[in-house]
Structures are given as C-alpha cells and as structure tokens.
Amino acid sequence: MAGENKVLAEKILEKLGGPDNVDNYYHCMTRLRIKPKDESIVDKAGIKKIDGVMGLVEADTLQIIIGPGKVNKVTDEFGQLVDASGGLNLKEKAAETKAEINKKNATPFKLFLRKISSIFIPLIPALVASGLITGISKAVIQAGWLAADSQLAVILTVIGGGLFGYLGIIVGINAAKEFGGSPALGALAGILILNPAVSTIELFGNALVPGRGGLIGTLFAAIFIAMVEKRVRKYVPQSLDIIVTPTVALLVTGIVTYLVFMPIGGFISDIITQGLTALLNAGGIVSGFVLGATFLPLVVTGLHQGLTPVHLELINRLGDDPLLPILAMGGAGQVGAAFAIYFKTKKKGLKRAIGGGLPSGILGIGEPLIFGVTLPLGRPFLTACLGAGVGGAFQAAFHVATLAIGVSGLPLAFLVKAGGVLPYLLGVLIAYAAGFAFTYLFGFKDDMAGEFD
C-alpha cells in the first residue's frame, strides 16, 4: 500500500511540473491542496486521469481529491519527494505570497469566509469524535442497555460532552491565531463569555448570562482581541511588550465584550435560531426540499463551511440541530445518482471513479463523488440535488434533529436524538432512491462520459 501511495504521489508531482513548481502544499480531509509557482505548466487534464485521483478543483489552490485516509498517506509521500529535491524555497515563497494570494478569491466576503473555515475545519476530528461518543452513549442509555446513573454512563457522558462545554475557548484560540493574534489571548476571549462568574455582573439593571452570545460572541471577542493586540504592540517598547500588550488587550476586550459583543452575539444567535426554526415550522416539507436541494451547490463553492458555527449555535440554543439532517441529504442524493450512473454506464473508467467514491459518500464525505463524477458530467449533479431535496423534505416532515455535529451519511444516525433515528435512516434511503430515479431516467446518458474512457 505504501508503494501505491508513493507511485500516486510521483505521478501527481510529475503532472504538476516537478518539485520546483511546488510553492506550498497541505491536505484536508479528502484533498491534497497545492499552490504551484506557475499554474500554466500544470497538466490539469493529466492529473484528472491519474488512477487514484477522484477529481480536481481549481480555487485559490489546486485541490486534488484523493479521499479520506488515503490523502494523508499520499501527502506524506508527496512531501518526502519534494524534500528530497531540496524542499520549498521559503524565502522566495515569502516574497511572492502577497502578490499571488487570493488571485481568484479576492472579494472581502470570500476572504472572510475562508478565515471562518480555517477556524472551524481543524475542529472537525474533535467534533466528530465527541459527537459520536455522545450520540452512542445517549442511544445506549435510552435503549435501556445502560443505567443513566451508572459510572460507565457518567464516564461516557463526560468524555463525549467535554468539548461542547469548552468549545468557545478552542474557537477563540483558532480565531485569534487566524487573525494574527496570540492563541492564549484568544482562549481568554472565549473564557470571558463562558466564565460562570459573569452572572455576578449587572449592567443597565440586568445580570449578564454566562455563555450569552455563544460562538458568535466568541468570534467577535477573539477577533477583536487579536486586532487590539496588534495595534497596541505598535506603540509599546519591546522591553515592556510582554507586560503591557496582553494586559491592555485583555482589559479593553473584556469591557467591550460585556458591553457590546455578548448582547450583539446573543441578538444574532436569536435571529439565526428563531429564523431557522420559524422557516422549518412554517415551510415544512417545502423548506426541507429547498434546503436539501441547494446544499450541494454550497459544497462546490465552499460556502458550506460557513454553516459550522450556525449548527453549533443551534445546538447551544435549542439543544439539538434540525438543519443538519436536512443538509445531510445532499450526500445521500449524490450516492443515489452515482449508483444510477454505475448501473447505466459501460465506461470502465467511470465505474472505477464511482467505486472509489461510493464508500466515502455513504459514510458522509461526498466530495469525491461530486468533483470526481456528477459535477464533471453536469446533468447528474442537478438530479442528485433533486434527490437530496426529496430527502430533505422527508427529514423536515418528521422533525429529525441531531444532538451534535459530525460527518453526514449513515454515521450521522448515531447523533440523531431519540425517536428520530429510524426516520433519519428512512430519509437517507428515500434520498438514495430519488437521486437514483431522477438520474437514471433523466440525468445520464453514456455518451456524456467521454472523458472517462
């Protein structure tokens, strides 16, 4: 297997124009992200045809879709090949960064969204682990297999729920770091909001509520403390910096947080939670269909990452998240469409691409199928969206909600609150069936798959 990963890394590096053309690289859950020095010499069509590559996305970086688990190993091999050639020229990279960054995504909204994504994407493994432990332990207790007051149940609850109690601190660390501040001060920004002693503060005749403002207030406070820190540091002598800068930054941020960020964050949280619940209650299955059908286009643009704080805020305010099961149907519609194409096509290359992406899709990671199969084919992407809409309508009709966030697909069933597991799984199957039917009947003809020969 190690040799296979090395061969794949070598082929990718060759199509990129060799190690000298690699300016920077890293990986996420499914993609090897590379910033080439000269994009014009990259053989993009050749990369797409490499056996083991599920797709290529062109954004601020070249994003080569390899799949979960495997991408980590291929990136390690890729890094060893680059290092063996002398590594990256860091001085040259630093000189060119300002001129080339955000070449294609320079709008303020996209830049801000990218920073928000950078705050929450590193949290995904922790959210998945905590969410699964929480969901499984609740399911076992509710099934009567484990007494709620038993020591084992208590231990599982503490292990699974710890992250959600202190998530604001971790978000504060990541936010401050992303906006150029000290991670420790970002942690303090989160503590300012979470600290139980906040309840002893009275402003304008009202006692403050610990946690009011949630993650949105935390983001405001952490970004603000980073900005104050950088601004103060410009005017403080270096010999006094370690004393004066963090002290002033914390003091100013604390006052502004209690006067401004907590009330505003709470107001925005109210709008988000009340707005979404009102939309689902009033629109019912129509709202579920629209939300489910429009999620895959958000994934393509990357805007879906901006929804992470929304999901977390819903859980924080409502105790559960009715939005995630609906959006999870996007991946299910995609799986159904992929099955339809697999049974209808005679192209071996297309069958291989689907076979490589289906396991990930069933487990809730839809990018290999989106960028490797349905989106390049065109019409199947639209029929997959329709299938997702049908599944979303079903989830909305039965008011399915999750207790935590994590990967979608079948594993999300472990996070669904009591009474909703069976409807959720039925909704997944319905989205599979709808995506299959729409694609098989209207979305795919074999002559559309020329590039998969």
Cβ within 8 Å of residue 45, ≥6 positions away: none
Name 238's Cβ contacts closer than 8 Å, sequence gap at least 6: none
Q: What is the pLDDT along the chain (453 residues), one digit of tens a residue?
A: 567 888 898 899 889 888 888 888 888 777 888 888 888 888 988 888 888 887 787 776 788 888 777 888 888 888 888 887 765 544 444 444 434 444 544 566 666 767 777 788 788 788 878 878 887 887 788 778 888 888 998 998 899 888 888 889 999 999 999 899 999 999 999 999 999 999 999 888 888 888 888 888 999 999 999 999 999 999 999 889 999 999 999 999 999 999 999 999 888 888 888 888 888 888 889 999 999 999 988 887 666 767 888 888 888 788 889 999 999 999 999 999 999 999 988 888 788 878 878 888 888 888 778 877 888 888 999 999 999 999 999 999 999 999 888 778 888 888 888 788 899 999 999 999 999 999 999 988 877 766 655
Q: List CB contacts of 74: < 8 A, sequence separation 6 or more.
A: 5, 8, 9, 12, 32, 52, 66
Q: Pick the catalytic residue: 28, 140, 153, 252?
A: 28
CATH of the domain spanning 2-105? 3.30.1360.60
In this structure, what token pair is assigned to residue 165? 């109690």
3-state secondary structure the chain: CHHHHHHHHHHHHHHCCCHHHEEEEEECCCEEEEEECCHHHCCHHHHHHCCCCCEEEECCCEEEECCCCHHHHHHHHHHHHHHHCCCCCHHHHHHHHHHHCCCCCCCHHHHHHHHHHHHHHHHHHHHHHHHHHHHHHHHHHHCCCCCCCCHHHHHHHHHHHHHHHCHHHHHHHHHHHHCCCCHHHHHHHHHHHHCHHHHHCEECCEECCCCCCHHHHHHHHHHHHHHHHHHHHCCCCHHHHHHHHHHHHHHHHHHHHHHHHHHHHHHHHHHHHHHHHHHHHHHCHHHHHHHHHCHHHHHHHCHHHHHHHHHHHHHHHHCCECHHHHHCHHHHHHHHHHHHHHHHCCCHHHHHHHHHHHHHHHCCCCHHHHHHHHHHHCHHHHHHHHHHHHHHHHHHHCCCCECCCCCCCHHHHHHECCCCHHHHHHHHHHHHHHHHHHHHHHHCCHHHCHHHC
Confidence at residue 312, expressed as pLDDT on a 0 to 100 scale: 83
Listed by start position, the domains of the chain span 2-105, 166-273, 285-452
Q: Is 385 part of the annotated catalytic residue set?
A: no
Model pTM score? 0.71
Distance from C-alpha of 299 to C-alpha of 140, rounded to nearest angstrom? 33
The phi and psi torsions of 224 (rounded to 5 degrees) equal -65, -45
